[in-house]
Structure formats: C-alpha cells, structure tokens
Amino acid sequence: MTWLTYRQHRQQALFGASAVALIAVFLLVTGLHMSSAFHAGLSRCLAVRGHGNCGDLEGAFESRFGTLRQLVPFFMGLPLLAGLFWGAPLVARELEQGTHRLVWTQGIGRLRWLSAKLVALVGLTLALAVAYAALITWWIGPLNNSTGDRFQPGVFDQQGVVPVAYALFAVALGIAAGTVLGRTMPAMAVTLVGFVGLRLIVAGLVRRHFVSAVTMKYVPVPGADVTHPGAWVFSQRTYNGFGRLVSPFDVASTCPPNTHPTTAALDRCVRAHGFLNVDVIEPAHRFWLFQGIEGGLYAGLAVALLALTVWWVRRRLA
Amino acid sequence: MIEFYLDGKAGVAPYLQLVQQVKQAVRVGLLKPGDQLPTVREVVAGLAINPNTVLKAYRELEHARLVKGRPGQGTFIVGTIPGPPPGTYARLRRGLRRWLDDAQAAGLDEESIAAFVASTLRDALEGEEVA
Amino acid sequence: MSAIDAENLGRRYGSHWALRGCSLQIPTGRVVGLVGPNGAGKTTLLHLAVGLLDPSEGRIATLGSDPRRHREVLERVGFVAQDTPLYPTFTVADTLTLGRRLNRNWDDVAARERLGALDIPLGRRVANLSGGQRAQVSLALALAKRPQLLLLDEPVASLDPLARREFLQSLMDAVAESGITVVLSSHLIADLERTCDFLVLLRQAEVRLADDIETILARHRLLIGPRRHGTGSGIARIVRESHTDKQSTLVVEVDGPIADPAWSVNEIDLEELVLAYLGETVRGSAPAVVPLQRVEAGV
C-alpha cells in the first residue's frame, strides 16, 4: 500500500515539496538579509528606547523591507492550495475514475487503503507545514519587532503554530469534501469556500473572544502616545471629564506642554480636566495562548473531518 | 491437424458441430488413425467456447470408438468410419431419382421438396436420438 | 460450496430497489452468464458479491464467506468492474506491481507471459492502450492472483468484435487451464451461448432464471398453432404469448409432453428464449393481438 500511495501521488508530493523548498530558499535568503540589517542598529535602539522612538532607523528599515511584508498575505493561500490540490482529489479522484472498484477488491480492505493514504498525506502536510511555520516565524521576527504588530490579525495568522493547524484543516476539509461529494471539482469549490469562510469568521469575529480583553485606564500624557508593542489593540480612546469621547489633540491643546514645563504640572492639568485614556487590548504575553487556542480549534476540526471521512468510506460508500 | 469452426446460427448444438466435423474429416480421409486432435485448450483458445463443450464432444467421439484420449498425451483418432459397400451410392441415387420424379409429378417445387426432406430427416434423427 | 449463495438478497437506494428477493446458488466449476436489461440488477448483484455494497436485506456468501465481514475471501475472487477501471497514468508494469503489492497470492510471471503473448507492451501507459488491451490487462490482473472465482461486469460491452473475440479466447483459455468458476454479465447473448453453461437471468431487480443452460433449453419449447389459449397438459407456464387473428405463438415452460396435437412443438434457441423472458407477458393480462414474433421455417 505504501508503494501504491507513493506511485499514485508522487507527482503531487514532489510538486508540493519543491514549492515549499523554493519558498524556504526565498525565506532563508531574505531572512538572513533582514536579520543582519535589523541587528545592525535597529534592534539595539528599540531595546533601549522602545517602539515609536527610533524614527529614522525604523523608517529606513521599513523602506528596505516593507515590500516583503506585502508578500506575507500571499502565504495565507498556501494551506488552501494544499487542501485543494492534495486533499480534494485524494478520494474523489478514485471515485470519479471508478478505480476504487479495482483497488477495494484486491487483498486489502477499504480501511487499510484509506488509513495508508491519510497517514501519508496528513504526515507529509504536517512535516512540510511545521518546517514552513518554523521558518516563517524566524523570518518574520525582525518585521514583528520593528513594528510590534505580531498579534494583529493578518500577521498573527502567518506565524507560530497556526499555519500548521490551517494546513491540516485545509487538507482534512479537502479530503472530506472529496469523499462525500465524490467529485474533485465540487470538492475543490467546497474546500475553497469552507476554508476562506472559516478563516474570515474566526479571524474576524471569534478570535477576539478566546479570552476576555483587558481594559486599561490611565491618565494620558500629552505628546507621548502610549503604544502596546506586541499586543492586539482593539481600541484606544480618550475621554474627557464629562465622559465624552475626545481626541488626543484635544488633550494636547487643553494642556499644552509649553505652558506646563514640568511633567508634574502637565499631570496636574490633565487630571484637573478629568482626561482618561481607555485602551482595550489583548496583552502581548497572551500571544502564544491565542496561538494555542486557534491552533487547537483548527486541529480539532481537522480531526473531526478525518473521522467523518473514515466513517463515510466504511459505511456510506457501501 | 483439423481446425474447428462454429456456426452460431446452425441450430445445431456446438458440441455436436465439433463431433460432426471430426466425423466428416475422418470420412474424407483428412484424419487417419493415429492423428491427434487439437487439445481442449487449443480449441477453446481458438473458438472462445466453453471447455466443457469440447470435453463433451471428445467424450462422445470416444463413446463412438472413433477417438481415444491418452492421459498426458492428447486425443487420437483410433477408428474409421466405414464407408458403404461398393455400388451403394449408385443404388441410392437411382432410388432418389425415382422419388424425386414422383414428388415433382405430385406438384412439389424445388423449395417444397428441400423443406420436406429437411424436416423428415430431422424427425428421423430425433427419433434415433430418443431411441 | 457454491461459488455464490444468495438468500433473499436485496439492495435499495432510497425507495428504489435495485435488486430484490434474490435467492440463487451458483455452482462452482461453471461459466455462468448473467443477463438482463440495464438496471435489472446485474451490477448490483456483482458488487454485493465482492463487498462493494452492503445488502439492504437478505444475505450473500461468496465462496462460502460474507465478503464484507470476511474480506480475506476476496483474495480468492477476481473482479473486473464495468469499464475495466485502471489507473490511467500507470504503465502496464505499474498495474501489475499494484496487484503484486496488494495481493498475497500473485503469479507475476504468468501475468507477464499472458500480456506478452498478446503483444501488450509493459512500458506503455494505460491511457494509451486500446479498449481491447485495457480489458486484457484487467483480465490478467484479475487472473494473476490465481482466484477460484472470477466475476466480470460487462467486460466486452464497449469492444469491437475482434477485441471481444480475443478477450473471450483469453478467458476461456484461463478456464480450460485452471477450472475456475466464471460469472460474466453481458448483453450479447450470442457470446454467452458459446461460452456459458449456466445462465442467470435478471429482470426488474428479480431473478427469473438460474439454471444449467442445457436444462433450461430442455425445459422450454416454442409452440405454434391455430389461435387458442395456452393451456393443457405439458404446459407448466407461459413465458410469452402472441396472437394474430388466426395463429398463436407461445414460449412455454414444459413439464411433460404437449398433449394437444394442434401445437407444433419446436425447440427454442437461447437468444430467443432470453428475449422472451425479457419481454415476459405479465400474468393476468389479456393476450394482445400482435404481429408474429417469429416465423418457423419448415413444415
């Protein structure tokens, strides 16, 4: 069965592995470049002065590597490609061509046939996805540190553990759709819609509710914006003494730094007017917790879909 | 070596056709005692017919003492089909001519005579088989 | 042990029964023809026999075992599905390797010899083979595992006459060589007449005939006579009847000599008999006035 799985899917596997290898080479080359540029000066500056205060260096880094950041969204499609071109045809092709009537009436049974294929495909996906995830997490490090936005939607999705879970989910969805629908093209359509739809829903609506956000209230300091590097910022609002929403500009114009020369004087002015900053965030240290929850969610769905596939092949296709 | 053929529309069972073809070959001297008949596999592979058909035909020929199967070697002609004594054909022809004149005089045309002969022959053979 | 033993076997899809109340025993050592119109249940029966389908009711045993519960029995059963499915991108050699890897008993040498004798190149891709060559490869694949039973679902349906004849030659040669039991479904009754000695006839999801061909032919007669109903001693059952204003033609099952001397009693050939069963007169309906189905030569 190992031979058959290999012989049947060797082109796909080869293609996929070479594509990942190409991407890996690209990431390695650009990553090393970025990393050395980052450590040449920006990293030290950020460690000492904090985000937002290394203006020139940050600007220079951004202009050099900002375009690479734009490539990142394309990588979101990789798990989907695995689902479409590896997952969907796995069982569907067999059913379409009628070759299941050939291969299920040889000496092995359906279950051994299916488990050999699933183990091979899921195993390969897992291996390639882990390698990819490790590589891209390393690669995106400097970009993360320069902007502190790794928890933001879109960037969160690119690194850490979740790319592996997305890949497993996409492949499992493809396999299940192909098995239930019995035809490759409709299965690919379902996989596309299902994957994109779920990713949008989870990233857009569900993720923020994994753990209740933290609300921080503090007295604003005019002219000095508080950033939350590495956190997921939902909102940063400023209110005046009457509870009305105001802009930081209003604070700065009410308590201008030049008429209040000392920080203590500024502070007294702001407090007197009752200005308050209310930031709703997910703190940076929750990054890996969220990665784990989202990864677990997608991985759990993948397992459920694979179980559906096994059940379908054993019971429904008979 | 004889090569068999099958006429699907002949109305005669396949195994009987094989039997008849062997008998005819012996009759005209194409097969002599000591000659080997094709093996079952050869016949089957050539005609795409059921092996049992060939076995049945060969069994019937063996029963008629015309052939003998030697295990491991094949099936061989061992007998002859005795021809009629000399003068038989001439005598029969004369009788047949007389009968034909009789039939024509009675008003039968060529087709009716042929059909009549065929059906009578069939009935006679059937009677022979049942007996 | 029967090759296939079915008891009240049935299979349905929703409310539609593809096969129903099927009870039969197919003996070993025979070449069995399976006939019936499209949708009669031939493919369903074969798929039930190799465990591709589960019965909705009843049971089936192939070579004595339930093919779903005792999958090992399939190692002794060769199966060629309709349209002879093969992997198009595989070469012929790859296809044989597939068989070798998935089956415990495998006679690779014999398979290669068989294909070599047919001039089928081992290095050619399956997609580039002709229909006849694909059928031969499928047959070689099924035979190489040295099965006791071989099931074929319309293997020659889409082949040209030469390819068809070559396929049947290969098949009959295999039967002569190893004495395997063969069940062959087909539309072409002329082919079945040459090759089969047992017939199973399905119509509208039910078994109408299942017996030795010799017995079947001995048990049926074609009766022609002046217009009348088909009753009287000797006539066990009317399969098909047609009447003009002057003449009646009946295909009947007999259980003794036909007493009524007005009937001309004729043997019937297999093709005509099968056609009669496929167009069976439903019991209870009035005889229709239809043109004569068959004109007998002779008097």
Q: Is residue B1 part of a domain?
A: no
What's the complex ipTM?
0.85
Dig out the tokens for C229 from the structure: 């109903």
Amino acid at site A77: G
**Least trusted range by pLDDT, from A43-52, A253-262, C155-164:** A43-52
CA distance C190 to chain B (A): 8
Closest CA to C266 of C289, C296, C232: C296
Which residues in chain C are contacts of B49 at CB distance < 8 A? Answer: 172, 194-195
B115 contacts on C by Cβ (under 8 Å) = 297-299
Cβ contacts below 8 Å, chain B against chain C, sum to 55
- Does the residue B7 lie in any domain? no
Judge whether B120 lies within some domain: yes
CA-nearest residue to B6 within chain C is C194
Contact between residue C93 and residue C144 where contact means Cβ atoms under 8 Å apart = no
- State the DSSP string of chain C: --SEEEEEEEEEETTEEEEEEEEEEEPTT-EEEEE--TTSSHHHHHHHHTTSS--SEEEEEETTB-TTT-GGGGGGEEEE-TT----TTSBHHHHHHHHHHH-SS--HHHHHHHHHHTT--TTSBGGGS-HHHHHHHHHHHHHTT--SEEEEESTTTTS-HHHHHHHHHHHHHHHHHH--EEEEE-S-HHHHHHH-SEEEEEETTEEEEEEEHHHHHHHEEEEEEES--S-STTEEEEEEEEE-SSEEEEEEEESS----TTSEEE---HHHHHHHHHTPPPTTSPPPB---S------
User: How far apart are alpha carbons A158 and C114 in whole angstroms?
Assistant: 56
Q: Are C195 and C224 in contact (CB under 8 A)?
A: no
- Average pLDDT over chain A reads 88
A191 domain residue, yes or no: yes
Instruction: Check whether residue B22 and residue B65 sit in a common domain.
Output: yes
Contacts of A102 in chain C (CB under 8 A): 81, 85-87, 138, 141
Contact C229, C243 (CB under 8 A): no
Tell me: pLDDT of C290 over 60. Answer: no
Residue C189 is predicted with a pLDDT of: 85
Same domain assignment for residues B29 and B63? yes
B119 lies in a domain?
Answer: yes
Test A106 with C102 for CB contact under 8 angstroms.
yes
Decide if A106 and C99 are in contact by the 8 Å CB cutoff: yes
- Write out the two tokens for A115: 């488990």
What does the alpha-carbon distance between residue C244 and residue C227 come to, in Å, rounded to a whole number?
Answer: 7
The pLDDT value given to residue C285: 40
The residue from B77, B97, B112 where one domain ends is: B77
Do B56 and B103 fall into the same domain? Answer: no
pLDDT digits (tens, 9 = 90+) for A165-215: 999 999 999 999 999 999 999 999 999 999 999 999 999 999 999 999 999
pLDDT of residue C129: 94
Q: Chains touching chain B at 3 or more Cβ pairs under 8 angstroms?
A: C
pLDDT value, residue A31:
86
Identify whether the C-beta of residue A214 lies closer than 8 Å to the C-beta of residue A284: no
User: How many whole angstroms separate alpha carbon B50 and alpha carbon C168?
Assistant: 10
Q: Which of A81-90, A220-229, C48-57 has the lowest mean pLDDT?
A: A220-229
- Write out the two tokens for A141: 């490090």
- How many independent structural domains does chain A possess? 1
For residue A147, the model assigns a pLDDT of: 75
- pLDDT tens for C94-128 read 999 999 999 888 999 999 999 999 999 999 999 99
Asked whether the beta carbons of residue C79 and residue A101 sit closer than 8 angstroms, the reply is yes
How far apart are the two ends of chain A, measured CA to CA in Å?
21
Q: Within chain B, which residues score under 50 in pLDDT?
A: none
CA dist., res. A27 & res. B113, Å (int): 99
| Residue A9 domain flag | yes
Chain mean position to CA C222: 23
B48/C197 touch (CB, cutoff 8 Å), yes or no: no
Residue B129, pLDDT score: 64
Chains A and B touch (3+ CB pairs under 8 A): no
* All chains having 3 or more CB pairs closer than 8 angstroms to chain C: A, B
Nearest CA in chain C to A95: C85
**How sure is the predictor about C58, in pLDDT bands with cuts at 50, 70 and 90?**
very high
Instruction: State the count of interchain CB pairs (< 8 A) between A and C.
Output: 65
DSSP A231: S
C283's tokens: 């019991």
Residue B96 counted as domain residue = yes
CB atoms within 10 A of CB A226: 12
On the question of pLDDT at C76 being above 70, the answer is yes
CA atoms within a 13 Å half-sphere pointing along the CA-CB vector of A251: 27
Same domain (yes/no): B94, B70: no
Residues B39, B73: one domain? Answer: yes
Q: Is A67 exposed, middle or buried (0-12, 13-18, 19+ CB in 10 A)?
A: exposed
- The torsion angles phi and psi of B117, rounded to 5 degrees, stand at -60, -45
Residues 21-60 (C) with a CB less than 8 A from some CB of A: 47, 50-54
Indicate the residue of A97, A107, A108 with minimum beta-carbon distance to C85. Answer: A97
Which residues 6+ apart lie within 8 Å of C194 measured at CB? B6, B8, B14, B47, B48, B49, B50, B53, C168
Does A278 map to a domain?
no
Q: How far is CA A44 from CA A35, A38, A223, A241, C199, in A?
A: 13, 9, 24, 40, 90
Handedness of CA B46, B48, B52, B57 (dihedral sign): negative
CB contact under 8 A, B8 and C193: yes
- The per-residue b/e assignment along A32-48, b for 16 or more CB within 10 angstroms, e otherwise, is eebeebbeeebbeebee
Same domain, B32 and B68: yes
Inspect the interface and report whether the beta carbons of A106 and C77 lie closer than 8 Å.
Answer: no
Residue B31: the pLDDT is: 86
Within the 248-277 window of chain C, which residues sit less than 8 Å (CB to CB) from chain B?
269
Q: How confident is the model at residue C60 (pLDDT cuts 50, 70, 90)?
A: very high
Residue A50 has what pLDDT? Answer: 65
Query: What's the mean pLDDT in A66-77?
Result: 77
- CA nearest C197 in B: which residue? B50
Calpha distance B33→B18 (Å, rounded): 18
Interface contact B50-C196, CB threshold 8 A: yes
For residue C267, the chain B residue with the least C-alpha distance is: B11
Residue B5 counted as domain residue: no
Q: With beta carbons under 8 A apart, name residues in chain B contacting C171.
A: 48
Number of domains in chain B: 2
> What is the arithmetic mean of pLDDT over A299-308?
97
Q: Do C195 and B118 touch (CB under 8 A)?
A: no
Mean pLDDT of A210-233: 86
Amino acid found at B27? R
Rg (CA), chain A: 26
Query: Who has greater pLDDT, A248 or C171?
Result: C171
DSSP label at residue A87: I
Q: What angle do CA C37, C41, C47 make, to 5 degrees?
A: 130
Report CA-CA distances (Å) from B9 to A156, A207, B43, B52, C163.
80, 79, 19, 20, 21
Does B40 contact C190 at a Cβ distance shorter than 8 Å?
A: no
> What is the distance in angstroms between the Cα of C125 and the nearest Cα belonging to chain B?
27
pLDDT at A49 over 70: no
CB contact under 8 A, B8 and C190: yes
Using CB atoms, pick whichever of B14, B50, B119 lies closest to residue C172. B50
Is A231 among the domain residues? no
Does pLDDT of A53 surpass 70? no
∠ CA A220-A244-A227, rounded to 5°: 30
Token digits for A38? 């980052």
The reply to whether B18 and B60 lie within a common domain is yes
Do B18 and B62 fall into the same domain?
yes
Is the minimum CB–CB distance between C102 and chain A shorter than 8 Å?
yes
User: In terms of residue numbers, what domain contains A142?
Assistant: 2-211+285-316
Verify whether the Cβ–Cβ distance B8 to C195 is below 8 Å.
no
Q: How far is C297 from chain B (nearest CA, A)?
A: 8
CB contact under 8 A, B49 and C172: yes
* Chain B nearest CA to C173, separation (Å): 5
Instruction: Look at residue C286 and tell me whether its pLDDT is greater than 70.
Output: no
CA–CA separation, C295 and C299 (whole Å): 11
pLDDT bucket at C289, cuts 50 / 70 / 90: very low
Indicate whether C90 pLDDT > 90: yes
Residue B2 lies in a domain: no
Q: How far is B29 from chain C (nearest CA, A)?
A: 29
Q: Locate tokens 């093969």: which residue?
A: C86
Residue numbers of the domain that contains B123 = 88-130
Chain B closest CA to C28's CA: distance in Å? 13
Residue A286 DSSP symbol:
G
In this structure, the answer to whether residues B32 and B66 fall within a common structural domain is: yes
DSSP letter at B109?
Answer: -
| pLDDT greater than 70 at residue C272 | yes
C165 CB neighbours in chain B (<8 A) are 48
SS3 call for A221: strand
Range of A4-18, A51-65, A143-157, C76-90 with top mean pLDDT: C76-90
**Chain B interface, Cβ < 8 Å to C:** 6, 8, 11, 14, 40-41, 44-53, 115-116, 118-119, 122
Q: What is the pLDDT of residue A153?
A: 87
Alpha carbon separation from C217 to A25, B62, B123, C210 (Å, rounded)? 77, 25, 18, 12
Residue with the two structure tokens 């299979």:
C11
C-alpha–C-alpha distance, residues A194 and A178, integer Å: 13
**C62/B contact by beta carbon, under 8 A:** no
* DSSP letter assigned to residue B28: T
Q: With CA atoms as reference, report the closest residue to C222 among C233, C211, C238, C209.
A: C238
Amino acid at residue number B83: G
Judge residue C40's burial from the number of C-beta atoms within 10 Å of its C-beta, 0-12 exposed, 13-18 middle, 19 or more buried: buried
pLDDT for position B50: 93
Domain for residue B22, yes or no?
yes
Contact yes or no for C195 and B48 at CB 8 A = yes
User: Tokens 């049992």 map to which residue?
Assistant: B52
A225 part of a folded domain: no
Q: Is C52 on the interface with B (CB under 8 A)?
A: no
- Cα–Cα distance between C152 and A150 in angstroms, integer? 62
Instruction: Read off the CATH number of the domain in which B29 is found.
Output: 1.10.10.10
Evaluate whether A16 touches A86 at the Cβ level (below 8 Å). Answer: yes
